[in-house]
Structure 1
Amino acid sequence: MRVLYFAWLRQKVGIAEEEVAPPAEVRDVAGLIRWLAARSSGHAAAFADPRQVRAAVNQDFATPDQPVAANDEVAFFPPVTGG
């Protein structure tokens, strides 16, 4: 699984992207966030308040219950506003 980080999430995690292999019990975006948060202090800081994180799976906006699979690309970014 390819995971991308944007804006302040990238700053907190310390990398722009990474390849990960979550365990089988990680089935959705929310589970992936919990698993990633346990990987390092930077990940924990980035996902400290999951309500402040938006996700996209394979370049489509995703809700926390969106399923994820091994070959997916998952991007995490802060909420955005237009204007």
Structure 2
Amino acid sequence: MQTLKISKVGDSLSIVLSPEILQKLQVGEGDSIMAIETVDGIKLIADDLKFQAGIEAYNKVVNKYSKALDELAK
């Protein structure tokens, strides 16, 4: 586990990721990462277009069939 320091940059706040974390995420300068809320906290993952497409498809299904999904959950 690494502790990350929050710094002020202009009107925003930022964190600096160590080379080890960047290597584990397989990202570098100019790449994007996603912050996903989980039951355990926030998870950082490399921005993956397939993952994003999957999330968008999931959201469409949940919105369109919310009543059916509620019934199935019983």
**Superposition TM-score, scaled by structure 1 size:** 0.33
Higher relative contact order (CA 8 A, sep 6+): 1
Higher alpha-carbon Rg: 2
Structure number with higher helix proportion: 2
More strand by share: 2
